Structure 1
């Protein structure tokens, strides 16, 4: 019976040591800046605490009951889901259409791609301040342009009118993040072999038929990935809303993130803010888990 030579142990331990050296700093940063704040927020959510002195006023689940019974928070949850749904209805077809057009050989293609993608590169705070100035009632550029065409802008401005504030914020969000959708879809389109489109043309298919029958089905994984990123981003929406309206007017644009910041930094109800942050984390985690299990599962099975 032939003896099997034992495998060398040295390279395996060297590989494990190299992995540990590369992974340990990332895990340490995750523990300090992600895990510990989450644990602290969960602990804070069970206390009534104003930010001064020790946390010794334990109230149990009372903070969660107060948050869930607060109409402002429930409206904030509804606003977040309205942004999610509006993103799918508006940004998805618009992003696909722009990506398909920019994928064609046209004059100034590179410049057009840059113009579409530049808003996504601009920082949220800078973009929010610029749009806040543009949307100022009576003195803003937007109101001036509306008056030039013979229309009357809202007296309180688009951001100061409760019925128009959230749609206006969504328009700004679409302007800001549409470039990401176009970039992802354009990358997906460029990965489609040209031979497929050439074969479709030989069979008599037009440009739109080729896009509908070939490009869109092959873009399925890219679209599902963008939907996941858009959903998570809409749930966590904060920067642009805070700069434009801070959740106003009359809580018309409040999101879950602006609610917990307002309760924590402005009203000093850190226990309430902790409970709201935990609920935001749970909602985002459940949505991400459900999406991963029921939507992205097919893509993972194909990769296997």
Structure 2
């Protein structure tokens, strides 16, 4: 009996020491998270109830309650921004990720030159977003851009993608696909290299074709990586902003805004900080719902 009590006491002491150690190491991270995430989110939520310009502390005189959120509901530009963000997500899932998976399948082996091509396809991802946007803005320029020059070389006319309100978003989709598919490609290559090679060897001995090996071995083995890639893609698209500013600035006629660029141009630059905070809170809630729902229903076994 005494031995049992001593063992229980010893286990309790180890557990207490473990908690103390965990708190000591977690405290700096918790402090930083509180200062730079929790407090700003709470402050933004508070300011979203005021018609506030950011120069003075919100007061009862400029309290508007849910007025900023009500403005969002009927704002056609915000509705367009929501549609564009959804379009970017759809393009990422339907075009960008399958393209990344196909290129990863071609470059996952150890053939000569695969490392070079991996680096070439990954380079756009490490290039700064602003630099990428400026490069493609020049290429899409309707007067001297590369696209127009190619068109004129084949007897066509000038192509003004960035000045057409129906085509400006297409230019953003093209650049976003070019910019980010390399990141997902590298994720897939890493996942493919973790699959047991003996499975492929056994399938080849049994006479399975390359397509059959891909469908029955590669895709099931990549399932957790694909789910993670989709998660990154959706959250990244919801926060899409850096390429919009140098490429289109949300124009023409506010036709190419995303949620975050709408927040920036109609909140911060116009000194409507309270309205911008309402947009930010809305985006935050969307991201939280998507993240937790995806984690709960799609990645529950990962």
Q: Which TM-score tier does this pair reach, normalised by the shorter chain?
A: over 0.9
Q: Does 1:58 align with 2:57?
A: no
What CA RMSD, in Å, does the superposition of the two structures yield over aligned residues? Answer: 1.6
Per the alignment, residue 213 of structure 1 pairs with 216
Q: Scaled by the length of structure 1, what TM-score is found?
A: 0.93
Corresponding residue of 1:276? 279
SS of residue matched to 1:3: helix
Provide the TM-score with structure 2 as the length reference. 0.93
Q: Alignment partner of 1:88: what SS? A: helix
> For residues 3 and 217 of structure 1, what CA distance do their matches in structure 2 show?
51
Q: Which runs of 4+ in 1 moved over 6 A?
A: none
Give the drift of 1:207: 1.3
Corresponding residue number in structure 2 for 1:3: 3
Distance 1:290 1:85 in 2: 18
Q: Which whole-Å deviations, capped at 9, do the CAs of 1:222-243 have from their partners, x for residues lacking one? A: 1111001100000110111122
Offset, 1:30: 1.0
Query: Where do 1:124-273 residues align within 5 Å?
Result: 124-154=129-159, 157-273=160-276
Question: For the residues of structure 2 that align with 1:158 and 1:225, how far apart are their CA atoms?
Answer: 33
1:42 maps to which residue?
45
CA distance in 1, matches of 2:291, 2:145: 39
Structure 2, unaligned runs of 5 or more: none
After superposition, the Cα gap between the structure-2 partners of 1:213 and 1:166, relative to the gap in structure 1 and judged at 3 Å, is: same
Change in Cα spacing, 1:201 to 1:8, as seen in structure 2 (3 Å) is closer
Cα deviation for residue 245 of structure 1 reads 1.1
Q: Residue deviations 1:147-167, cap 9 Å, x none?
A: 22333232xx21111111111
